[in-house]
Chain A
Amino acid sequence: MQIDQQMPEWYRARYNQLRDQALLAESGARPTFTPIEMTESSVLHRETIPGGWYWSTLLPRGQALRLINTSGNNGVSVGLWNADDLSERYNAGDTIKLQWTTCLTTGRVLFSDMGRVLTSIIGDSCGFSDTLAGGSTPQSNARNFGNEGLRNTRNNLRLIAGKHGMAQHDVTSCITFFSHISTQADGSFRWIDGDIRAGDHVDLRAEMNLLVAVSNCPHPLAPEKSFAPGPIEAVRWQAPAIKPDDLCRTFCEEARRGFENTDPLFV
């Protein structure tokens, strides 16, 4: 069969089938799987990141990063690069398009620009993140707090990139956890209040060797009137061996194919 020489009707039928299957995975009952717990003996490193500041770590394949929202901040932004080839990086557009959803929580994965899985979201007690509007910038701080000189995610990520030999053009899209944004029918974003709690955490398991950048700044659409993010905690830990029923690897066909693109890097 020549996949590039079919009639439009053939492509449409195929697209509809892929769409229906993907939307069913999202709306249907989640498959049973073994929850992945962080144990104290698996902890490799702990770090407290002050409000407004940044931190980065190398996260080898198989290790996980737990971000604990100790202070109940509205947002913690994350940027991701393949540590073995820094030109490969997080791609927000592909991540939402490939999984047919902007709702990135437990069970979902984050994609690079090369059709590979950077990280699996193996735990998320909050359940809300945003990768459409991105992190704060000098302009958003000027608008929200009347002061463009406050610390912001754009510059935090640029500082991390710069310290790893990268440049401005290596800082593109990020994902902000602990942020509940809803998209209205007309496309406008609405911040949903009341869902961010102190003590919530998200667990990201590295599916390739990663450079992870963390910026502890509030989401630019969050409602706070003064800039006062509290400290958060980052914990690097050894994730257990992957089980056959691993949620992120079995949740949808798209993620499964993403892992088929990723795993050959490590055989």
Chain B
Amino acid sequence: MPEYDISKVFSTITLDQVVAARVPWSGVVRKGQVLRIIDLESQQAVDALFYNAHAYHERYSAQDTLVNQGAAYIGKGGRLFSNEGNVLMTVVEDTCGRHDTLAGACSCESNTVRFGHETKYMHACRENFLLEVEKYGMSKRDIVNNVNFFMNVPIMQNGELVIDDGLSAPGGFVDLRAEMDTLVVVSNCPQVNNPCNGFTPTPIRVVIGDPVSI
């Protein structure tokens, strides 16, 4: 099991914050720093977008990431590519095994299609994303397919795809090392209509710090 004690992992901690269930968060991770996202109570989907902190038009691209690694999931060693073909962040530690980058974020509009029109007025990740990216002068056009940490989306050889129960345990975490100064925008997913949160959204913890040099 990778080290959980953050005092042994980080030499300095610049941010350590609990993000309540259903709400957004954003912050800049400087090049060389590590962002740890901790799934405090287990099975919580954490939807995340990534932007070059100095030029927001360069941002996470799911299709670049998938084609460059030739695989559908992200795990330890995985690199998050931008739409310019650069690496934004690298997954340097991971207790979960794999994370989704295909299914994107929930939205009020897609909820009506997937779960029925009666779910239209339920809070959704894209509402979180929109309010958060607008703080940086961005708009809906800047919201792209995102990473869903701790979310389990198995794909069959025939193409069948479901969202299954999350695999992460309480205290599970993922460590992302910034390869450039990166703005990270998170929606702590409020979805209750599929098992991405075990049907019960729970808080997460985010820590940014300088890693202990090895």
User: Which residues of A line the B interface, CB within 8 A?
Assistant: 3-4, 6, 8-9, 11-12, 14-15, 18-19, 23, 26, 87, 91-94, 96-98, 100-103, 111, 113-116, 132-135, 137-140, 154, 167-174, 182-189, 220-221, 254, 257-258, 260-261
Q: Is residue B117 within 8 Å, beta carbon to beta carbon, of the partner chain?
A: yes
Is A101's CB under 8 angstroms from B160's CB?
yes
Q: Which residue of A lies closest to B159 (CB)?
A: A103
Is A101's CB under 8 angstroms from B161's CB?
yes
Is B57's CB under 8 angstroms from A8's CB?
no
Task: Of the listed stretches B26-34, B58-66, B180-188, name the one at the interface; the rest are far from the partner chain.
Answer: B58-66
Q: Is residue B194 within 8 Å, beta carbon to beta carbon, of the partner chain?
A: yes
Q: Which of B85, B108, B161, B198 contacts A97 (CB 8 A)?
A: B161
Interface centre among A8, A11, A184 (most CB of B within 10 A): A11
Provide the residues of chain A in CB contact with B155, threshold 8 Å: 102, 183, 187
Is B110's CB under 8 angstroms from A3's CB?
no
Task: Of the listed stretches B3-11, B13-21, B140-148, B206-214, name the one at the interface; the rest are far from the partner chain.
Answer: B140-148
Known: A115-B107, A189-B72. A133 touches B63 (CB 8 A): yes
Is B113's CB under 8 angstroms from A103's CB?
no
User: Which residues of B line the A interface, CB within 8 A?
Assistant: 57, 59, 61-64, 66-68, 70-73, 83, 85, 98, 102-105, 107-119, 121-122, 126, 139-145, 155-163, 192-195, 198-200
Q: Which of A97, A116, A154, A187 contacts B104 (CB 8 A)?
A: A97
Is B192's CB under 8 angstroms from A4's CB?
yes
Q: Which residue of B lies closest to A97 (CB)?
A: B103
A-B contact pairs, 19 of them (CB 8 A): A3-B118, A4-B192, A8-B198, A8-B200, A14-B115, A87-B139, A91-B145, A96-B103, A97-B114, A101-B159, A113-B143, A132-B66, A140-B68, A168-B83, A170-B141, A183-B155, A187-B71, A188-B72, A220-B67
Write the nearest CB–CB distance from A194 to chain B, whole angstroms: 16
Q: Which of B73, B110, B142, B160 contacts A94 (CB 8 A)?
A: B110
Q: Which residue of B lies closest to A191 (CB)?
A: B70
Q: Which residue of A lies closest to B117 (CB)?
A: A257
Write the nearest CB–CB distance from A121 to chain B, whole angstroms: 14
Is B141's CB under 8 angstroms from A97's CB?
no
Is B113's CB under 8 angstroms from A261's CB?
yes
Known: A3-B119, A11-B193, A134-B64. A98 touches B144 (CB 8 A): no
A154 to B90, CA, bound (A): 23
Given contacts A92-B104, A100-B161, A187-B72, 16 further A-B contacts (CB under 8 A): A11-B199, A14-B115, A14-B193, A15-B193, A15-B199, A92-B62, A93-B145, A94-B104, A103-B159, A113-B126, A115-B108, A132-B72, A133-B70, A134-B61, A137-B64, A258-B113
Write the nearest CB–CB distance from B52 to chain A, whole angstroms: 12
Provide the residues of chain B in CB contact with A187, threshold 8 Å: 71-73, 98, 155
Provide the residues of chain A in CB contact with B59, threshold 8 Å: 169
A-side interface mostly: mixed
A4 to B123, CA, bound (A): 9
Provide the residues of chain B in CB contact with A189, threshold 8 Å: 66, 70-72
A63 to B70, CA, bound (A): 36
The 5 closest A-B pairs by CB, nearest first: A93-B104, A134-B63, A115-B109, A103-B159, A8-B199
Provide the residues of chain B in CB contact with A94, threshold 8 Å: 104, 107, 110, 113
Is B63's CB under 8 angstroms from A173's CB?
yes
Q: Which of A96, A167, A257, A258 contacts B57 (CB 8 A)?
A: A167
Q: Which residue of A lies closest to B73 (CB)?
A: A187
A260 to B113, CA, bound (A): 9
Is B161's CB under 8 angstroms from A188's CB?
no
Known: A19-B162, A92-B63, A261-B112. A169 touches B71 (CB 8 A): no
Is B109's CB under 8 angstroms from A114's CB?
yes
Is B71's CB under 8 angstroms from A188's CB?
yes
Is B72's CB under 8 angstroms from A12's CB?
no
Q: Which of A96, A154, A184 contacts B157 (CB 8 A)?
A: A184
Known: A102-B161, A220-B67. A116 touches B102 (CB 8 A): no
